[in-house]
Amino acid sequence: MFSLKEVVRVFGNGRRSSLTICRRNLADETHNRESVYNWRKPAGHPVGINIYNPGMRRKVPLILRSPHMATWYTCGPTVYDETHLGHASTYVKVDILQRILRDYFKINLVTAMNITDVDDKIIMRASLDGQDWLQLARDYEAEFRRDMLRLNVKPPDVRSHVTSSMPVIIQFIQELIDDNYAYITSSNSVYFDVSKSKEYGKLAKVTIEEETSSNEKRNSADFALWKARKTQKEPSWQAPWGGEGRPGWHIECSAIAGLFFGRTVDFHAGGLDLRFPHHENEEAQCCARYKTDQWVNYWLHTGQLHLTGDQRKMSKSLRNTISVEELLKKYTADEFRMACLLSNYRNAMYYSDDLMQTARQTLQRFKNFHADLSAYVQFLKPVHLLDEGALRAQLAHTMAEFDNSLRDDFDTSRAISVMIDQMSSISRCINEQKVDAQEEPAYCMDLLMAAGNFINRAMLTFGVSELAPKEALEAQVPSTTHKIDSSILVDDVLSVRGRMRQEAFSGQQKNSQLLAACDELRTLLQQHGIQVRDHKQGSSWVFAVSCPTDDEKSKSSVK
């Protein structure tokens, strides 16, 4: 069990004004403790995946009610400021997990998210800026959506705003009142009575004791379902129990998720900082309303993002944030996604230039491998005698280990490592310069291409862009209806450069002027984000992971 101090240390003090953790007298419930904190295995179909369970503190088997379908709810943003990397890391990691389930395990995943568009922070920010609170929320929501698209995060199947879900929220609260799980105060606020929830604290493993509160709450741990209006200026809605007000934070997700998925949700995701009190309170409310002991079967909590050297999470209130806009000025969306892939989704992530350079270099290794493999199968590299049996066994081993990694609580870091081992082994073979002319080479092109296809599909599953240069990257030519295929253009330029290199080496002495021209052409292509790779029988190319900025290009053109 956690004490109050331990809970505050682990989860922080975010949105804690309406909830204070107390300790329940355990003497009366010792016999009940196992049932309180045990996770109930769902009835249904095991799918061969193990997932970490925060209440049990260990991995448990994933069992779905339908073998090929699952429901997923993610806590959405409170839209009162720009999106920072703390938010981005959560939503990118959630996107990776959803893609794995949907695209690799072929589960029909139905996803939903809320948008908190009325909140104390929104109202306060709008007041400070002299704006309409709803317009401010809409503006920041639009920015959030743009940032998610730029990070290649797939939108949920359905989003619901708190303001448009008010009838559902009010009905949810009324049912809790009717069932005696909630009570109305003299000011017409409504609180959830935590003492009526026998399993309260099961996610964070906290315990409470019934303690009289000094304000209108019955117990200190009770939390607000509905806040009575305090001023005429703040937004409010008419409540059937009297007066006007607006919902508390926790009830919003419960009501919206319940609207879409009812009495059971397969997956519920959010940052680790939401586990307590937000998710704990969601679970308590829904268990009370739907008269069940387990509303969410699998809670997934992503580790928080920190700046290296700062143990605090990235947070607007701490003023230690980096916006998505700032990130994308230095690094690509693929590089940030790779940084997330290299970390277990449950672990804290320490953002720094060193981390991002590691992600960049890792991503470049995948691109370089694809370029080398393409050059080999096009006979731009010497063909070698390969051990077909060993290559086939290695490919099978790679696929099996990759599969095992994802089935083990979505271990993407291990999956990346497995693919890097496969790439390194193949690269050593195809880049070997010595060829035994006495032996007939075993080409094994099918196995090499199969390995390349598997790695490319795996990266697409994770949401990383195509490793190969896009063949259909087209640019409109001014004043014409013709289009340029940039891939063909680069191929033609390299063909001319290849003939220049061949001519430079054809004489008894190297033609230094031709070679200098080839190097200059190579540098020019590099400045435009195209990395040229010279081989014995020709050259290949690949888009570099990071392109120079416009300022760098302009500086280069002056030289």
Q: Enumerate the β-bridge partners of residue 115.
A: 161
Q: Is the pLDDT of residue 452 over 80?
A: yes
Q: Alpha-carbon distance 391 to 342, whole Å?
A: 26
> What's the one-letter identity of residue 435?
V
Instruction: Give the domain ranges of the chain.
Output: 4-302, 363-461, 474-558
State residue 553's pLDDT score.
40
Q: Which residues contact 240 (CB under 8 A, 6 or more apart)?
A: 170, 174
pLDDT digits (tens, 9 = 90+) for 453-483: 999 999 999 999 888 665 444 443 444 444 5
Q: Alpha-carbon distance 90 to 96, whole Å?
A: 10
C-beta separation of 203 from 270 below 8 A: no
State residue 213's pLDDT score.
59
pLDDT digits (tens, 9 = 90+) for 90-107: 999 999 999 999 999 999
- Tell me whether the CATH fold assigned to 4-302 matches the one assigned to 363-461: no
Is CATH 1.10.10.10 the right assignment for the domain spanning 4-302? no
Q: For 205, left (φ over 0), alpha (ψ -120 to 50), or beta?
A: left
Q: Average pLDDT, stretch 471-497? A: 59
pLDDT digits (tens, 9 = 90+) for 269-297: 999 999 999 999 999 999 999 999 999 99
C-beta separation of 176 from 160 below 8 A: no
Q: Is the pLDDT of residue 181 over 50?
A: yes
CATH of domain 363-461: 1.10.730
Q: How far lies 221's CA from each of 35, 210, 250, in Å? A: 22, 8, 14
> What's the one-letter identity of residue 228?
A
Would you place residue 9 in the very low, low, confident or very high pLDDT band (cuts 50, 70, 90)? very low
Report the Cα 448 to chain-centroid distance in Å.
31
Report residue 51 as tokens: 């997932």
Q: Which of 30, 14, 3, 135 is nearest to 80 (CA)?
A: 135
Q: Which residues contact 457 (CB under 8 A, 6 or more apart)?
A: none
Q: What is the pTM of this model?
A: 0.81
